[in-house]
Structure 1
Amino acid sequence: MAVPERPRRFSYRERPFDLRATAVFFILSALILVLVGLLARAAVDAAERRPAWVVILALGGVACALVWRRNRRRMSVSRIARRTTEALEEATATALDVLEEDDAHDGGSRVLPAGGDGRAALEGGLGEERTLVLDYAALSADGFEQAVADLCARDGCTQVQVVGGAGDLGADVVAWAPDGRRVVIQCKRYGDDNKVGSQELQRFGGTCYTVHEADVAVVVTTSDFTAPAEEYAEQCGIVCVNHEALRAWSDGLVAGPWAAVPDGGAGECV
């Protein structure tokens, strides 16, 4: 009588420890972590210097996620690298096209948002020269005084000094004009709704000539002057430079404010 053969039972055997495979695993893990860290650092730097690259990295990440989801069961390292590269190239081309369209629509130039020091880049259109300008209203009080001093030095003044601070008695910038006259400037960084009044002009008028021995007294503001302030300035020979005149001076369209006062004459509002 034949005895039926019992099915064999396979006992579970644990996979033996493989030192080489374990070392390769940890090495690959470390490389992946380093790569992720470098990509994160590059993303932060790109976001600070050029926000447009944030869009590129985001599109690349979305593309990688879609590729991984579609082929997670049968993906290989080479396929991931190839498809990620293609997605990044496509995202880069798209972002560059968007930037070129923005420049073309600007029709010439545009002012970028000012940074912490109030500096902003005035960018020309494609192929045009790009020039650095200042957003004076965005500067700090000390930065505005330094910017005015830089304008004086640019237009030929010598011994230009920023002397503003506690106890300055109204003088913020002192310089010698190209013709040898002593120029004393008071800087008023005000908002558009805050005009320089006659009382402020009177306080400056009481010290600019007698204390600071000015040959040319100037008040420069990012705002404007009230009518009584302009009348007082005309009587005392103080040159008033409002925001429009400041921009014209900065752009090189007019001479420095000391040119408004003839040698030995009285000043006038500009």
Structure 2
Amino acid sequence: MTAPAFRKSPANRRHRFDLRSTTLFFVFLAVVVIALGFAARTVADAVERRPAWVCVLVVVGVASLVGLRRRLHVTRAARRAAAALDEAAREAADELQAPAIPPQRPVTEVAADDDDLTPEESAASYDDLTPEEFEEAIAALCERDGCSAVDVVGGAGDLGADVVAVTPDGRRIVIQCKHYGDSHRVGSQDLQRFGGTCFTVHEADVAVLVTTSDFTTPALEYAGRCGIVCVDRDLLEAWTDGTGPQPWGAALGGWAAGRGTAGAEA
């Protein structure tokens, strides 16, 4: 049995001397040296004959180099600005795509839905509302306590009706809202205007006037004669926190004049 013959690795082979490649290398080197010498001689002759032109060429060359460098700086700055704008656009897009923070509960819902509010907290929350928001809060109370077809109709030409609804027992309730301060009580003229439309125009089974203030004595007397339920600040707070009756429940019990503190009408 004969052993296989191993081939020598190409790395172990000796490189052969190539005369042709060596000659071409030296010829190329000689050409480069001659060209460099000729260029140096030309520059020297130009400096001797026309030094001004050489200075101009040097200045132009330096200016070109400086301008090129500035262009490079401007290009880099532009790239950085573009990158910053791109990053800002991405952040803005992320903010727009991020889920919106749920809004805080308005005071209308707090006043209507939070049974843990103290009377002082309820009063403060109603005081912070606008007249329109106060009407929405009263509508929310009606919905909370089982009324259906609740609608806020207050505005120009409402003829005294701000909130209309149907009570749980099927009666039509018409409510006028007076968002007054403590020093501004509801007077008999307010009751008379409301009493002139609540039954004849709006066909109310239950007519209610609710206020953040209270009523004067003449106003309560007029309401008692006409069968209008008066809900003053104290009764409103009791209705809100669930410790007092709803206005339609009070009307069922024969209560029509409210129990707010009343003084003589100015």
- TM interval, shorter chain, is 0.5 to 0.7
Pairwise CA RMSD: 3.9
Q: Is the 8 A contact 1:260 1:268 kept in 2?
A: no
Contact 2:166 2:173 in 1 (8 A): yes
SS of residue matched to 1:208:
coil
Match of 2:246 among 246, 256, 264: 256
3-state SS, counterpart of residue 159 of structure 1: strand
How many Å apart are 1:162 and its aligned residue? 2.2
- Equivalent residue pairs, number: 181
Q: Report if the CA contact (8 A) 2:221-2:257 is conserved.
A: no
Q: Comparing 236-245 with 133-142, which one deviates more in the overlay?
A: 133-142
Pairing 1:190–2:242 present: no
Shift of residue 144, structure 1, vs aligned partner: 2.3
Q: Give the secondary-structure state (helix, strand or coil) at the position aligned to 1:207.
A: coil
Question: 1:120: Cα distance to partner?
Answer: 8.4
**1:28 is matched by which residue type in structure 2?**
R
Mark the runs of 5 or more structure 2 residues left unpaired by the alignment: 1-57, 95-100, 260-266
**Cα gap change, 1:168 to 1:119, in 2 (>3 Å):** closer
The match for 2:171 is 181
1:201 aligns with 2:201: no
Structure 2: distance between partners of 1:229 and 1:172? 19
Q: Secondary structure at the match of 2:191?
A: helix
Could you say which structure has the higher helix fraction?
Answer: 2
Match of 1:5 in 2: none
- The residue correspondences of 1:1-270 to structure 2 (distance < 5 A) are 13-14=62-63, 15-16=65-66, 17-18=68-69, 20-32=72-84, 135-262=125-252, 265-270=254-259
Identity fraction in percent: 51
TM-score, normalised to structure 2's length?
Answer: 0.54
How many angstroms apart in 2 are the aligned matches of 1:34 and 1:245? Answer: 59
Pairwise CA distance, 1:31: 3.6
Equivalent residues of 1:236, 1:266 under 8 A apart:
no
User: Aligned partner of 1:25: which letter?
Assistant: A
- How far does residue 39 in structure 1 lie from its aligned partner after superposition? 9.0
Q: Within 1, Cα distance between the matches of 2:208 and 2:186?
A: 13
- Please give the alpha-carbon distance, in whole angstroms, between the structure 2 residues aligned to 1:176 and 1:242: 22
Q: Distance in 2 between matches of 1:266 and 1:213?
A: 20
Task: Give deviations 1:47-75, integer Å, cap 9, x for gaps.
Answer: xx9xxxxxxxxxxxxxxxxxxxxxxxxxx
Alpha-carbon separation, structure 1, partners of 2:78 and 2:197: 76
Deviation, 1:252, is 3.0
C-alpha distance 121-238 of structure 1, shift in aligned 2 (>3 A): closer
> Who wins on radius of gyration, i.e. which is larger?
2
- 1:253 partner amino acid: T
TM-score where L is the length of structure 1: 0.54
